[in-house]
Chains A and B, each alone.
Chain A
């Protein structure tokens, strides 16, 4: 009888711990790390932009929230409050990639080297189309 109670207690405690762990993980799970994410699509900046320009709804269905690896020519680099914003193809009608501060810190060396007219490959989440295609949580794949 005593043994049974003890075993029961152990299971109860383990159950509680597992429950609390699951709860904690669900509410405090970290953001996905773009470095580790496989790109859903790999495209040229020009093609990505045309897809949106031709049929925005269709492009939204295909790309919205997806991880996209995009290759294009740098036309602008802007730094603001630790974020890097890299514009590909065209400043207003192109692809704008935001390298958020935490990634910018990790990739500082490579970001400092990027210049206008470089061809780069960059990976990030597609947020949609508004004065060009917008990506964020970006990391530079190759320069």
Chain B
């Protein structure tokens, strides 16, 4: 694990060099946004994370997301405490990640400005549990910038998160996840 970042970077750097030859591009960000929402008649809960790392490689349409669970910020201090200590257990599981591929890659042209609907299949790992998901997203290509947006739903129970009965009415069965990322082209 220790030199993981470095190896990933070297690997990506090689891919980036390769991209000047072929049309392949790597997009990245280290300050992407992922937020989640829980809405019930009793209470609305919202958390925002502005430190999301993400890469998209256009040749195979592979994409990855990584985030630190402690970077989720709540308006209410007690909720943030409960989220970290009781539900996400962020000391034990500090990271969440997603690895996947764009399944309709042939419909997307990263060299041509436009708005594309991307279908993504991949695996989310959170709270030490991995789950396969299919997600729809919108990709906006504008010169050498890329914007990715998506909304999808996850169940806490799928990630082995036990919600005590006292607060069950306050936490939605399905949590809304919003993704909003501004990518830059990767060059080092």
Contact = CB atoms under 8 A, between A and B. Distances in A.
Instruction: Report if A and B associate in a common complex.
Output: yes
Interface of A: 26-32, 53-57, 60, 64-65, 78, 80-81, 83, 85, 91-93, 96, 98, 100, 125, 127-132, 134, 136-137
Interface of B: 1-3, 5-6, 9, 30-31, 50-51, 53, 66-68, 70-71, 73, 76-78, 80, 84, 90-91, 94-95, 188
Contact of B95 (A27, A96, A128, A137): A128
A56 B9 contact: no
Contacts of A78: 31
Given A92-B9, A134-B68, 13 more contacts: A29-B77, A32-B77, A53-B3, A53-B5, A55-B2, A80-B50, A91-B30, A127-B68, A128-B68, A130-B68, A131-B5, A132-B30, A137-B73
A27 B76 contact: yes
A98 B77 contact: no
Contact of B91 (A54, A65, A91, A129): A65
A137 B71 CA distance: 10
A30 B3 CA distance: 38
A55 B4 CA distance: 11
Contacts, number: 82
